[in-house]
Structure 1
């Protein structure tokens, strides 16, 4: 299980190939790639800056992945989250899960992403035509995470 927080972009194909490796037990790869949008909450976005708390962020992401491993029969998982200055169409996050079957892989991937949005310490600041603004939490993200409560 790999968690990385980095400024550099990532190659989705290379990352999925590395996650899969040559493991004959893997029958499914589920993945999600998040991108910077040029429009958010009705305003144009020319850039997005992501900040985090080094050490704490990685621990929070690892705890989320560990919880996914506890809940579903998955073989491996990968989370890459970028920080720093990003532009529209840039990749922000990759969540990928390898499993023997698609059901567990899909569920674990969605769980990791839902919890990442609500429990990982990232702060987003957008640059809009009206100036810079911090991005507030969205109720829809909280609702998505709540459905995984046990």
Structure 2
């Protein structure tokens, strides 16, 4: 359902949140190792997320990626849009330019129901809440756990 970039981004941000909950900042290498993602690709995704203010970063010996109070409002939908744009949430499934609520294509109404459900799923919890679930053991972040 998500691009590789978005999959790595979600896992990375949840890992960063988990570390930040414990007062730690982490480097791209550590993030990539813990979320089973290629380091250069992960670093690029993380820098993009810093530019889009989904996460923060500090330079220097005690630096790294982090999240804080200013990042608590972000949801999976914000992360998906930051990495892949809004394509998952809009546009005609058949590629028709004139498809709309007023002029629906044959799939419009069914796809709208699915999109509404996906939007609900991606906005129901914040990224921080997802990290707290990983931290408590309710969910897992690694397929190796």
Report the TM-score range of the alignment, normalised by the length of the smaller protein: under 0.3
Higher strand share: 1
Highest RCO, 1 vs 2 (Cα 8 Å, sep ≥ 6):
1
TM-score of the pair, normalised by structure 2: 0.25
Higher helix share: 2
| Larger Rg belongs to | 2
